[in-house]
């Protein structure tokens, strides 16, 4: 509980996230196995790992979309599940597919949270929406429906919608998946620069090694529900651990006759 703010709820600054011996199983299969680490306030923390490593489950547990079987997730010292921290502290998540409301325009998507919670008057909401659209270069698509946007634009709109609530904790689920390299680089840049504008902690779940290397301050590499290694991206890249290199530097088996024909192995 060190460095926990005096008033963990009303304090408007970035939050500390503590994952404490968390385990979770589905149908007797352990997807999270005694996972522990702490994410410092304001940090951009990347969780990497192969498919099925438990990254997305952990992220969903942080925002209370999943209940863990054992252990505790604490946000600013408060139990995320028991004290429903996502309701107390501004927490937002950018889903892999965006999670945009398909029946609403981009502008309505962005204004949805403040309108539903009656946070501001109509004029202030419109100003905040316009400002957020501007910082993410989305001014031209305010009246478009999500179905009219490209994959990259949808991700940016999803990020913009999360920023409207001025989050203290923002989570990204595979933000660069299904995007072309240019759009992926663009989204990576957006995530990296958001901290200049907003005081928040960012957790990014991704397969993307370039994203982790360019914006991650620390990276947790997960495998089979456990944390294999937690360090800076540089240390991770230099690691000789076979489990780490298997993920970061995968190699094609050249003895496979199907590949041998096409690759100059």
Partner 1 sequence: MQAIKNFFGFAGECVLVFFRSLYYLPTLPWQFTRLMDYCFNIGYKTMPMVSIMAFFLGAVLVMQTGDSLEDFAGANLYLGRISGLGMSRELAPLISALLLAGRVGSSVTAEIASMKVYHEIDALKTMNVPAERILVMPRLVAIILMMPIVVGVAIFVGWYGGAMAAAHVPFIAQPEEVYWANLKHVVSFHDIIDGQIKGMIFGVSVILIACTQGLNTKGGPREIGMSVTSAVVASMVIILFLDFVLTRVLM
Instruction: Report CA-CA distances (Å) from 200 to 213, 252, 256, 257.
Output: 20, 39, 47, 50
- Our CB check for partner 1 shows the closer of 9 and 246 to be 9
Q: Is 165 exposed, middle or buried (0-12, 13-18, 19+ CB in 10 A)?
A: middle
Q: How far is the CB of 137 from partner 1 (least distance, A)?
A: 22
Q: Which is nearer to partner 1, 27 or 255 (CB)?
A: 27
What's the min distance (Å) between Cβ of 41 and partner 1?
20
By C-beta, is 71 or 99 nearer to partner 1? 99
**Pairing of β 218-223 and β 70-75:** unpaired
Q: Considering beta carbons, is residue 102 or 124 the nearer one to partner 1?
A: 102
Gyration radius from the chain CA atoms: 20
Shortest distance (Å) from residue 93 CB to partner 1: 5
> Nearest distance from residue 92's CB to partner 1, in Å?
6
Alpha-carbon gap, residue 101 to 106, rounded angstroms: 9
**In the complex, minimum distance from the CB of residue 124 to partner 1, in angstroms, rounded to a whole number:** 16
Query: Whole-angstrom Cα distance, residue 228 to residue 53?
Result: 10
CA distances, 255 to each of 70, 246, 263, 264 (Å): 43, 17, 11, 11
Size of the chain in residues: 265
- Cβ nearer to partner 1, comparing 117 with 249: 117
CB closer to partner 1, 114 vs 223: 114
CB of 202 to partner 1, least distance (A): 15
Closer by beta carbon to partner 1, 147 or else 262: 147
d(CA 71, CA 110): 35
* Structure tokens given for 112: 């949805």
Among 36, 92, 78, 62, residue whose Cα is nearest residue 230: 36
Q: Contact residues for partner 1 (CB under 8 A)?
A: 60, 63-65, 86-87, 91-93, 95-103, 112-113, 116-118, 165
Task: Give CA–CA dist 219/236, Å, rounded.
Answer: 8
The minimum distance between CB 101 and partner 1, in angstroms, equals 6
List strands edge to edge, sheet with 78-79: 29-39, 17-26, 70-75, 78-79
């Amino acid at each position: 509980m060190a460095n926990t703010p005096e008033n963990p709820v009303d304090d408007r600054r970035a939050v500390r996230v503590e994952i404490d011996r968390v385990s979770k199983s589905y149908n007797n299969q352990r997807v999270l196995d005694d996972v522990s680490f702490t994410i410092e306030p304001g940090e951009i923390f990347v969780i990497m790992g192969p498919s099925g490593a438990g990254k997305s489950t952990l992220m969903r547990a942080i925002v209370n979309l999943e209940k863990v079987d054992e252990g505790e997730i604490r946000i600013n010292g408060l139990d995320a599940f028991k004290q429903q921290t996502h309701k107390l502290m501004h927490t937002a998540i950018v889903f892999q597919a965006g999670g945009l409301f398909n029946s609403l325009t981009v502008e309505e998507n962005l204004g949805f949270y403040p309108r539903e919670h009656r946070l501001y008057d109509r004029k202030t909401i419109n100003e905040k929406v316009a400002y957020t659209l501007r910082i993410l270069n989305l001014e031209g698509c305010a009246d478009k429906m999500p179905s009219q946007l490209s994959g990259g634009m949808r991700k940016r709109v999803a990020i913009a919608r999360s920023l409207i609530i001025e989050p203290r904790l923002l989570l990204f689920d595979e933000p660069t998946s299904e995007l072309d390299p240019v759009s992926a680089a663009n989204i990576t840049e957006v995530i990296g620069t958001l901290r200049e504008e907003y005081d928040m902690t960012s957790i990014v779940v991704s397969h993307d090694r370039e994203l982790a290397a360019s914006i991650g301050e620390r990276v947790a590499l997960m495998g089979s529900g456990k944390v294999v290694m937690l360090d800076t991206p540089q240390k991770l890249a230099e690691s000789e651990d076979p489990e780490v290199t298997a993920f970061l530097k995968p190699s094609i088996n050249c003895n496979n006759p199907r590949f041998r024909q096409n690759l100059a192995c």
